[in-house]
Structure 1
Amino acid sequence: MDRKMLQHLFFLYKFLFKLLCYPQGHNLKSKSLKYMRYESMADKHTPEELLNTTLVFEVEGGLLRSNSLFPYFMLVAFEGGGLLRGLVLFLFYPLVCLVSKERGLKIMVFICFFGIKKDNFRIGRTILPKFFMEDLGFEGFEVVRRCGRKVGVSELPRVMVEGFLKDYLDVDCVFGKDLKVVCGYFVGMMEDETTRTSFLMKDVFGDMKSDCHLIGFGTSNKILDHQLFSLCKEIYLASKADKRRWRALPRDKYPKPLIFHDGRIAFMPTYLDTLAMIVWVPFGLGVGILRIIITMSFPYTIAIPILCFTGMSGRRYTRSFAKNKLRASSTNQNKSKGTLYVCNHRTLLDPIYISMAIMKPVTALTYSVSPLSELLSPIKTFHLSRNKEKDYKIMETLLNQNHDVVLCPEGTTCREPYVLRFSPLFAEISNDFIPVALDAKVSMFYGTTASGFKFLDPLFFVLNPTAIYHIKILENLLDANIVEQSRIEIANRVQKQIAEALGFQCTNLTRRDKYMVLAGNEGVV
């Protein structure tokens, strides 16, 4: 090999080296950037300096532990477009993996968003925040939390991430891809972000770009993909190996409590888990129908063992005082009034599980139950009107007619470990009631919804491969000073007792607060 050939090979090597080190599209200014490991940020900057610093971070690389965007698009497809759209995304995902990342992203956006009405799209604020929060890396979250002003850069469409970043992480500005809208509907294509990015950069940083101390944070292979990072004077990188060691953010470290969320899927729908769901659903429909038939047709002594065998079980915890009271109430045939059971509200099946726990029929007081749910219910139900005087008369009449009544003073369900504010109406009816603490664990689908079809709630619950109910029958802690306590104080005391029994937290939030967050109304769905 002659000398000229060696020179050509040397220049080719230098060209390839520069091409790999400085990807196409980045200006010469990026060569002067300082790249450091993200752990060194705390050593190089004091907490006071970081509070006066603007952090530009990559959402997927700097916050989330997972490397795949498929679960989030599956949530949009399934919750926003139904099972068929989710199935289409699942079938097309192998093609997405074969093409470039940019084209794969466009394919998933088209499948998930085509034909979705823009004004009705609330998934980014009501469903995705739960899964984003559970996917947060503790180490990445600590880096973002230390800085005063935060600017997020995401590959996802902005409608998917903006609500979570602004509502829960207090991010000042979000740079994401906007979706094209025609006649109020998404058409499944993304806008050119160059113009909007330039406008936002001027809006966020103004004419102070050179004087503003910007710090970048993300992963090494993607950090230069956005022009915003070229303004940063320092960039801190987290490698893929670092992210694999990241821990999940503990619930007690959440920047804001996650109390309300919507949607049916109860697990992170990775590709393999989605495959398991698709395989299970046809079989699970048969199992669910069988569970309903067993509950309606057989006495509890026979139905409970069969339900446990099929995956639906319950665990009862009864304290000695409450146990004696239950035994006395069941053996006293001449009692003049029925027993009032006061519980927190997890699903529509709460009264049924209480009935199974005490092995006797009860009457459920409900606010809004579909005719299908009433038809499938193995226990009696009575409707409440949310009119205090009418509801008082209904409950008093049922108790005087020797009915054992189950009442949920929260007025709506709550999935997370919180107990909503109790209505004091039950305390006005009787001082002699039994508090019951309930918790429900599901493996695949939630049996509650705020914006979906409520008549499907019990069907989705029985569709789970496994579901466990925890029933804790508590003692009435009201003492001789009950006359000196107001009904609101009694309700707050029972709320606190149930929350402590479950390890939950009490809140002052109500049904109205829940529906304003999840459905945009005051509970009329």
Structure 2
Amino acid sequence: MAFFPMINLLKTAAQYWPFSCYRAARKIRNYVSFLHRSRPATCPSVAWCSTLVPAADEGGAGGGGGEASTIVVSDFCCSLLRGTSNSISTPFPYLMLVAFEGGSLLRALLLLLSYPLLCAIGYMSQQLISIKIMVFITFCGLKVKDMDLVARAVLPKFYLDNLHPNAYHELAALIMGAASARVVVLSTSLPRVMVAGFLKEYLGVDAEVVGIDLKVIEAEGGSYFTGLLLSSAGSTHDHVGSSYNKHVDHLPHSKEVYKEEMSTLTRGDKYPKPLIFHDSRLAFLPTPLSTLALFLFLPLLIPLSVARIFLGIVPPYKLIFPIAALTGTRFRVHGHLSSDHHDQSSSTSTLMSTKKEKKGVLYVCNHRTLLDPVMLATALRRPVPAVTYSVSPLSEAIAPMRTVRLTRNRETDAKTMVKLLEEGDLTLCPEGTTCREPYLLRFSPLFAEVAEKIVPVAMDAHGGWFYGTTASGSKSLDPLIFFMNPTPTYRVRVLEQLPEELTCAGGGRSGSEVANRIQKQLGEALGFECTSFTRKDKYMMLAGNEGGVVIRMQQPA
């Protein structure tokens, strides 16, 4: 008898099932629309939102007659930075940078594996829970000094590349228009240690950052983050959404929404403050999708890099070009590659007549990576020796040409270079260190004082995924990291030999004058700007000295 009621139940379900599914779909759609409309005030849908709040109006009464005003930026991640997907800016890529650069591959992998959980929780509906999970994975056990290094040398590059230009200009206009401005930047998505330094150093905004604070413990070996938020962080997070945003809600005329496509700030001269020095291995913003692609391809990129290095050392020079093309390496050579540098007639000056004539040609290169001398030797198809200031034993062992270390003692290094030039040609990078951005550092004038035949060489290198240089990591891995890029690209342009009358020996010029002229010549060939920064300036900057980066243009000769 129970069989017939079951049949009736199935008939009823079949009759109403399509309508029930339709109703369920409508409810889901309405719920998603509700979440989209009711996003937390700490992460608004607009790219930029600000308001002027009377300084005396601390209690929200709307009064206060003082001239001092408070400029409130709704949230650093959502208002000053552009969105990474669907016009929504999330903290995941910037926390991934801290996990990858300040932590390890394992920490970065754990953060990536947590992303499906964050999606299941719902980032927009449960923002604080998602942030706590990401922050804990990123900072638990991380040294404070490592975080300071990342905040100073890594994050500014990615912040500037993703800076919302209209938002920055609007903020600058508000600050300039206020008689006495007090800037408050809310950071409810990123910890305060990731934001405060950038605002002051690169945007020139002396702001009070209100947001997430992290617990720190003292242990043997230094200070460490626990990955937990301070007890007051939660209340601060809630206070942000109630105290400051009530002013924004009551002053709709002060909001400014930018929905059009924004231009990309790609060059240093377009930054609010020039970025010349930065340090990281990743050359792309690690969004969840790009980070997943990185970990999927990493097991293939490492053996590919080793194969590229091996095939670039063992075969004869005439076979390297086709082999490089087969392995995905792009190598472009331009300029004067013939050996007529040795045949150009030149008379020895009276100043050098008592000394043995220097027959070697000194190839002066700007410095992009440690592979510059190797690429020049490949372009010339002969192993030209190179002098270096600091190179790892591994790099010396695998170099296909002779490498000689300099001591940074002027007299000793001059004697070494004179001896090497008497034996033949020589390669030198007078900057003394690499520079990633389109700038040239100051050229040491020592090379101009010891060489009679000088040939400038313009070098440029591009990767895409990884930077092949580092200031704080292991330099022995630089060649391996560079060739891990899917399509590593190197361009070598050999310029004309410097006329004899413009050298120190033949024209009586000073070493600084010759060095400045060659720096300017290489800068024009590459489209780079010349500065007077030195190797010491670079490492002091990346090591944590206070003060901004100011371009100091070298006066051309």
Fold in common (TM above 0.5): yes
Distance 1:271 1:152 in 2: 26
**Change in 2 beyond 3 A, CA 1:37/1:369:** closer
Matched, 1:65 2:104: no
Secondary structure of the structure 2 residue equivalent to 1:225: helix
Determine which of 446, 457, 461 is the counterpart of 1:425: 446
Q: CA deviation at 1:20?
A: 11
Q: What is the aligned partner in structure 2 of residue 213 from structure 1?
A: none
Q: What is the aligned partner in structure 2 of residue 279 from structure 1?
A: 296
Matched, 1:161 2:195: yes
Matched, 1:305 2:318: no
CA contact (8 A) 1:124 1:162 kept: no
Secondary structure of the structure 2 residue equivalent to 1:406: strand
Q: What is the aligned partner in structure 2 of residue 47 from structure 1?
A: none
Q: What is the aligned partner in structure 2 of residue 46 from structure 1?
A: none
Q: How does 1:396-415 map to 2 (within 5 A)?
A: 396-402=418-424, 404-415=425-436
Distance 1:263 1:111 in 2: 20
**Change in 2 beyond 3 A, CA 1:80/1:343:** same
CA contact (8 A) 2:51 2:251 kept: no
Q: What is the aligned partner in structure 1 of residue 468 from structure 2?
A: 447
Distance 2:211 2:155 in 1: 16
**Change in 2 beyond 3 A, CA 1:76/1:195:** closer
CA contact (8 A) 2:164 2:262 kept: yes
Determine which of 131, 139, 143 is the counterpart of 2:170: 143
Deviation string for 1:42-97 (max 9, x for gaps)? Answer: 9xxxxxxxx98542112122211122221111111111111111111111111012
Q: What is the aligned partner in structure 2 of residue 128 from structure 1?
A: 155
Distance 2:539 2:210 in 1: 29
Matched, 1:114 2:140: yes
Distance 1:362 1:21 in 2: 65
Q: What is the aligned partner in structure 2 of residue 80 from structure 1?
A: 102
**Change in 2 beyond 3 A, CA 1:490/1:20:** closer
Distance 1:458 1:91 in 2: 29
Q: What is the aligned partner in structure 1 of residue 265 from structure 2?
A: 249
Distance 1:415 1:331 in 2: 35
Q: What is the aligned partner in structure 2 of residue 209 from structure 1?
A: none
Distance 2:403 2:300 in 1: 30
Distance 1:24 1:341 in 2: 60
Secondary structure of the structure 2 residue equivalent to 1:456: helix
CA contact (8 A) 2:212 2:236 kept: no
Q: CA deviation at 1:498?
A: 0.7
Q: What is the aligned partner in structure 2 of residue 103 from structure 1?
A: 129
Unpaired segments ≥5 residues, structure 1: 1-18, 27-35, 43-50, 199-221
When structure 1 is superposed on structure 2, of 56-65 and 70-79 the one drifting more is 56-65
Q: CA deviation at 1:175?
A: 2.0
Secondary structure of the structure 2 residue equivalent to 1:297: coil
Q: What is the aligned partner in structure 2 of residue 190 from structure 1?
A: 229
Deviation string for 1:375-415 (max 9, x for gaps)? Answer: 1211111111111111111111111012x211011000000
Deviation string for 1:343-370 (max 9, x for gaps)? Answer: 1100000001111111211111111111
**Change in 2 beyond 3 A, CA 1:189/1:459:** same
CA contact (8 A) 1:130 1:258 kept: yes
CA contact (8 A) 1:419 1:495 kept: yes
1:427 counterpart letter in structure 2: A
CA contact (8 A) 1:266 1:446 kept: yes
Bigger fraction of residues in helix = 1
Q: How does 1:242-391 map to 2 (within 5 A)?
A: 242-243=258-259, 245-251=261-267, 252-318=269-335, 322-323=336-337, 326-329=339-342, 337-391=359-413
**Change in 2 beyond 3 A, CA 1:226/1:423:** farther
CA contact (8 A) 2:460 2:490 kept: yes
CA contact (8 A) 2:461 2:490 kept: yes
Q: CA deviation at 1:341?
A: 0.4
2:127 counterpart letter in structure 1: K
Distance 1:519 1:234 in 2: 44
Matched, 1:90 2:116: no
CA contact (8 A) 2:276 2:439 kept: yes
CA contact (8 A) 2:368 2:460 kept: yes
**Change in 2 beyond 3 A, CA 1:172/1:339:** same
Q: What is the aligned partner in structure 2 of residue 511 from structure 1?
A: 535
When structure 1 is superposed on structure 2, of 261-270 and 228-237 the one drifting more is 228-237
Q: CA deviation at 1:310?
A: 1.2
Normalising by structure 1, what TM-score? Answer: 0.80
Q: CA deviation at 1:193?
A: 4.1
Distance 2:195 2:537 in 1: 22
Determine which of 490, 500, 518 is the counterpart of 1:469: 490
CA contact (8 A) 1:88 1:111 kept: yes
Distance 2:409 2:37 in 1: 70
Secondary structure of the structure 1 residue equivalent to 2:241: coil
CA contact (8 A) 1:37 1:237 kept: no
CA contact (8 A) 1:438 1:472 kept: yes
Q: What is the aligned partner in structure 2 of residue 210 from structure 1?
A: none
**Change in 2 beyond 3 A, CA 1:191/1:374:** same
When structure 1 is superposed on structure 2, of 359-368 and 127-136 the one drifting more is 359-368
**Change in 2 beyond 3 A, CA 1:337/1:452:** same
Distance 2:288 2:234 in 1: 35
**Change in 2 beyond 3 A, CA 1:37/1:509:** closer
Aligned Cα root-mean-square deviation (Å): 3.2
Matched, 1:492 2:508: no
1:424 counterpart letter in structure 2: P
Secondary structure of the structure 2 residue equivalent to 1:296: coil
CA contact (8 A) 1:311 1:467 kept: yes
Larger Rg, first or second structure (1 or 2): 2
CA contact (8 A) 1:412 1:511 kept: yes
Distance 1:366 1:23 in 2: 56
Q: What is the aligned partner in structure 2 of residue 179 from structure 1?
A: 214
When structure 1 is superposed on structure 2, of 341-350 and 147-156 the one drifting more is 147-156
1:407 counterpart letter in structure 2: L
Deviation string for 1:112-164 (max 9, x for gaps)? Answer: 11111113321111101100101012221221121224332112001111121
Secondary structure of the structure 1 residue equivalent to 2:142: coil
Distance 2:251 2:116 in 1: 38
CA contact (8 A) 1:151 1:171 kept: no
Corresponding pairs, count: 455
Q: CA deviation at 1:107?
A: 0.8
Q: What is the aligned partner in structure 2 of residue 234 from structure 1?
A: 251
Unpaired segments ≥5 residues, structure 2: 1-34, 53-66, 84-88, 176-180, 346-356, 546-557
Q: CA deviation at 1:314?
A: 1.5
Secondary structure of the structure 2 residue equivalent to 1:329: coil
When structure 1 is superposed on structure 2, of 489-498 and 335-344 the one drifting more is 335-344
Deviation string for 1:218-237 (max 9, x for gaps)? Answer: xxxx9972623445673544
Q: What is the aligned partner in structure 2 of residue 201 from structure 1?
A: none
Distance 1:270 1:227 in 2: 32
Secondary structure of the structure 2 residue equivalent to 1:147: helix
Secondary structure of the structure 2 residue equivalent to 1:396: helix
Q: How does 1:34-53 map to 2 (within 5 A)?
A: none
**Change in 2 beyond 3 A, CA 1:60/1:25:** closer
